[in-house]
Amino acid sequence: MSKNTEFVKFDKVDKSYDGKVLVVKDLNLNISEGEFITMLGPSGSGKTTCLMMLAGFETPTNGEIYLDSNPISNIPPHKRGIGMVFQNYALFPHMTVYENLAFPLRVRKVQKDEIDKKVDKALSMVSLSGFESRMPAQLSGGQQQRVAVARALVFDPAVVLMDEPLGALDKNLRESMQYEIKHIHENIGVTVVYVTHDQGEALTMSNRIAVFNDGKVQQLSSPDKLYEEPVNSFVAEFIGENNTFGGEVTDISKDVCKVKLQNGEILANPISVTSKGDKTTVSIRPERALINPKDKMDNNQTGKIEEVIYHGDHTRVRLDLLGNKEFILKVPNSSNELDLKLGNEIKVGWNSQDARALDPK
């Protein structure tokens, strides 16, 4: 059984609310069947608008959305058969948990015993069996969230949309819910389109992540690629932590380029620079730069410790390095022998492969 790689397809979709500003610009996105795809981006980047267009609550200004090869722009939301989990759960407060879950089945005229069976199954899937007769107000936030997920899945939709579903939960609950949703997805193999502005959530749950900014998809790739190999400085900045240097390319070969900074010169991996004289922003992940490196590295610099912040499992060290006073290092808690004192000068090294020369900011 081959999976449809164009199960959901955004084809040249534009969206504008006022006829002046494009919220979504020329969006082309293919989502394959059974995939967990996350739309990640800052608020106002157009990700929720995309979701609403898919759900049918907004219409594309231009372009077409296809669901299983059928154009859906003219199909009203209730006929699309897409499950949706809302940001504030949107459980019907006057109905019990059972009635909430039975709602999508009742409007589809499913038989009573069939409804009972499906509701039972959906509730046990989110481990809430026995909560049928509770009202939503009698449930905790996490339980409400799980009811909302169960309700979006109970009528076996082809696609489930989730609009920042964990936004209102506290940190611990959010993490356990992430795993729970991920496991549900793995078990039933439904296509999930997930919207969030929380990168941690996106990284742990998704098969692929679409990073949105300014109405455009900046990068669409798997979580590890997104983190390790950002294609532009926005993605590098938005996903994870990041040390940056602004400079100019002075020499360039296939795998390595020389970048002249304000006071110094470093070697970097040319990603979006092509020729001498290009302006660039070099991005290095904090954990890729090491203190007193034992292995030979092609970038070796000396920096002054400006601040030491204890984080439990690791210590963050802020350095003044090559004129960048916000250079962050993450030192694992196991390396006790280091002398991390304010004002000390320490040696820092990294490979030019990990220093990605991206587009200038």
Partner 1 sequence: MSSETKQILTTDGIPLEISLKKAERKNKIKAFLLVAPLLLFLIITYIFPIGEMFTRSIDDKMITNMLPKTFKSMETWDGKELPSEEVFASFLSDFKILVEKKEHGKLAQRLNKEKNGFNTITKKLFRQVKRNKIDETQSIKEQIMKVHKRWRNVEYWQAIKRTAPPYTSAKYLKAMDMYLNEDNKITQVSEDRRIHRILWLRTVEVAFFVTVFCFLMGYPIAHLLATLPMKYSNLLMICVLLPFWTSLLVRTASWMILLQQQGVVNDFFVLIGLVSDDNRPEMMYNKVGTYVAMTQILLPFMVLPLYSVMKTISPSLMRAGKSLGGTPFVAFWKVYFPLTIPGIGAGCLLVFILAIGYYITPALVGGASGTLISNQIAYHMKTTLDWSFASAMGLMLLGGVLVIYWLYNKLVGVDNIKLG
Q: What's the rounded Cα separation, in Å, for the pair 229 and 288?
A: 13
Task: Report CA Rg, the chain.
Answer: 24
Nearer to partner 1, 76 or 277 (CB): 76
Nearer to partner 1, 151 or 174 (CB): 151
Task: Please say whether the beta carbons of 34 and 126 come within 8 A.
Answer: no
DSSP 8-state assignment for residue 88: T
Q: How far is the CB of 89 from partner 1 (least distance, A)?
A: 9
Nearer to partner 1, 98 or 155 (CB): 155
Identify the three-state secondary structure at position 194.
Answer: strand
Give the CA distances from residue 107 to residues 59, 80, 81, in Å, rounded to whole numbers and listed in that order.
24, 14, 12
Q: How far is the CB of 170 from partner 1 (least distance, A)?
A: 21
Q: What's the rounded Cα separation, in Å, for the pair 14 and 154?
A: 32
Nearer to partner 1, 156 or 265 (CB): 156
- Residue identified by tokens 């356990």 is 176
Show the CA angle centred on residue 148, arms to residues 239 and 90, nearest 5°: 95
Nearer to partner 1, 134 or 225 (CB): 134
Q: How far is the CB of 86 from partner 1 (least distance, A)?
A: 5
Q: How far is the CB of 147 from partner 1 (least distance, A)?
A: 12
Nearer to partner 1, 152 or 328 (CB): 152
Nearer to partner 1, 79 or 279 (CB): 79
Q: Count the helices and strands in the chain (H runs, E runs).
A: 8, 20
Task: Please say whether the beta carbons of 14 and 49 come within 8 A.
Answer: no
Q: How far is the CB of 151 from partner 1 (least distance, A)?
A: 7
Q: How far is the CB of 73 from partner 1 (least distance, A)?
A: 16
- Binding residues for partner 1, rule: CB under 8 A, are 55-57, 76-84, 86-88, 90-94, 103-104, 107-108, 151-152, 155, 161
Task: Please say whether the beta carbons of 186 and 204 come within 8 A.
Answer: no
Q: Please spell the DSSP secondary structure of 243-292, one letter per residue.
A: EEEEEEEEEE-SS-EEEEETTEEEEEEESS--STT-EEEEEE-GGGSEES
